[in-house]
Amino acid sequence: MVTIILSTALLYLIQLVLQSWLRRSAGDVSERTNKAVHNLRESLPVFFTLAILSIYFEIEANTQLAAYWLLARVIFALVYISGLSLRPAAEGSTYEPQPLRGLAWAISIFLLIKMGLNLI
């Protein structure tokens, strides 16, 4: 679990560096990178809390769930930043759906919930 926690911190650091590097360039990639970092930042406290509690209470099942969560977050970031499966916004809207991104996000949330339930 410690390796997964450190890998998650590394993912966050990589996204921060990428965000800083792309900040100089204007455009959609820079904006998507900012949003991806913000989204990861929102889920990190929950993940770190669940991971540390899993270590403390020796919940081994959460180690595999945490690894899958990290994989889902990597996929989420890659899809979001690259614009993969980006669909054009509907007329009169600025929202551009990305079904793959939504799926990766939903899976990551499900995994956090499952990790929490394992602690009960």
Quick count: other Cβ atoms within 10 Å of Cβ 14? 13
With contact defined as beta carbons under 8 Å apart, do 70 and 11 qualify?
Answer: yes
- pLDDT value for 26: 64
Domain locations in the chain as residue ranges: 2-88+96-118
- Residues 75-100: pLDDT tens digits? 999 999 998 877 776 777 767 788 99
Q: Output the DSSP codes for 9-73.
A: HHHHHHHHHHHHHHTTS-SHHHHHHHHHHHHHHHHHHHHHHHHHHHHHTT-THHHHHHHHHHHHH
Class at the top of the CATH hierarchy for domain 2-88+96-118: mainly alpha
Look at residue 1 and tell me whether its pLDDT is greater than 90. yes
Distance CA 100, CA 68 (A): 16
This prediction has a pTM of 0.91
